């Protein structure tokens, strides 16, 4: 620093908190003009660092929903068996119509059991979740980025060993909300050209560019193969189809696959830096956003 002037080289990126100097009218939108559905939310325990409920006060949450004109919240944290029952008791059964809890499946079974036995167990979990009252299935990125079979091979969403599970979801009328990949930059070299270097510096476990990991392109290929192979199953691609960086790809997927939909969760900044493209995709393309 010289004469009160801070040199950029002396300012770590983590300490850079610029204050916008734009002067303009602000129009706070605090309530939806029409009753709405929050299609992507986490209300359970599994993402909380201490295993607590993400929403400790349900009546307070309902009050917020009423003020904002949110009719229903989709809770993606149902998991399976006892945890699913716990979520259903807390949300769906206690407040009918206000929550729709999705189950998840224990994909680790594919790593621990023979393929036929694992598939049978997964189908049993799905059937039990449907009977209990689950309204859909959430598939997280662990299927493709974490779970490996007994030979150490990553199990991707288009693996034939999981095909029957997705077919059964369609038969049961359960939509599948699938989060296949994170932002593209999380799969790129973690160097000075990476646009998400700040995120990755604080969360190194978010980087998937190392040896033995699938490329972003391979994961998107797996997603499309899965969607195309199960036309009777409704899929929702989380986070703008997991490819908000390329709205042409998203629009093509929506056009080519009538059973494919996308949600907007967690990608508004991505859409905000390409507002005209986002508007074109929303207005001119299929209305399954």
**Which pLDDT value is given to residue 268?**
80
Could you tell me what percent of the chain has a pLDDT over 70?
97
Pairing state of beta strands 176-178 and 235-237? parallel
Pairing state of beta strands 235-237 and 260-262? parallel
Distance, in Å, from the CA atom of 154 to the CA atom of 143, rounded to the nearest integer, reads 8
**Which pLDDT value is given to residue 94?**
98
Alpha helices in 88-237 (DSSP H): 109-112, 115-132, 142-145, 163-172, 197-202, 216-229
- Band (pLDDT 50/70/90 cuts) for residue 283 is low
CB distance 156 to 219 below 8 Å? yes
Exposed/middle/buried for 155, CB within 10 Å: 0-12, 13-18, 19+? Answer: buried
Question: With helix as H, strand as E and coil as C, how does 53-87 read?
Answer: CCCCCHHHHHHHHHHHCEEEEEECCCCCHHHHHHH
**Which pLDDT value is given to residue 8?**
80
**Which pLDDT value is given to residue 253?**
96
Alpha helices in 151-257 (DSSP H): 163-172, 197-202, 216-229, 238-241, 247-256
- Give me Rg for the CA atoms of the chain: 21
Query: What predicted TM-score, i.e. pTM, was given to this entire model?
Result: 0.90
Q: What are 194-230's pLDDT values in tens digits?
A: 999 988 988 999 999 998 899 999 999 999 999 999 9
Q: What are 89-147's pLDDT values in tens digits?
A: 999 999 999 999 999 999 999 988 888 999 999 999 999 999 999 999 999 999 999 99
- Mean pLDDT confidence for 162-167: 97
The residue to which tokens 């979990």 are assigned: 125
Q: What are 63-79's pLDDT values in tens digits?
A: 999 999 999 999 999 99
**Which pLDDT value is given to residue 1?**
54
């Amino acid at each position: 620093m010289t004469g009160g002037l801070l040199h950029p080289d002396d300012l770590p990126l983590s300490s850079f908190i610029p204050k916008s100097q734009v002067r303009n009218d602000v129009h706070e939108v605090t309530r939806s003009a029409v009753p709405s559905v929050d299609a992507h939310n986490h209300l359970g325990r599994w993402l909380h660092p201490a295993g607590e409920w993400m929403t400790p006060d349900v009546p307070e949450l309902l009050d917020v929903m009423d003020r904002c004109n949110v009719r229903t919240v989709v809770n993606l944290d149902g998991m399976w068996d006892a945890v699913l029952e716990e979520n259903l008791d807390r949300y769906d059964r206690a407040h009918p119509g206000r929550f729709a809890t999705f189950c998840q499946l224990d994909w680790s079974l594919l790593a621990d059991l023979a393929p036929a036995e694992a598939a049978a167990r997964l189908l049993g979990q799905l059937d039990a979740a449907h009977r209990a009252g689950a309204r859909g299935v959430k598939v997280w990125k662990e299927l493709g980025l974490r779970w490996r079979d007994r030979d150490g091979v990553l199990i991707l969403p288009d693996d034939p060993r999981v095909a029957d599970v997705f077919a059964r979801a369609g038969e049961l009328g359960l939509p599948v909300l699938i989060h296949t990949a994170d932002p593209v930059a999380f799969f790129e070299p973690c160097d000075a050209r990476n646009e998400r270097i700040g995120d990755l510096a604080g969360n190194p476990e978010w980087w998937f560019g190392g040896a033995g990991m699938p490329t972003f392109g391979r994961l998107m290929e797996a997603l499309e193969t899965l969607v195309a192979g199960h036309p009777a199953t409704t899929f929702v691609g989380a986070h703008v189809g997991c490819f908000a960086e390329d709205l042409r790809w998203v629009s093509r997927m929506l056009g080519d696959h009538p059973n494919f939909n996308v949600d907007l969760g967690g990608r508004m900044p991505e859409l905000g830096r390409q507002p005209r493209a986002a508007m074109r995709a929303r207005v001119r393309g299929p209305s399954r956003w």
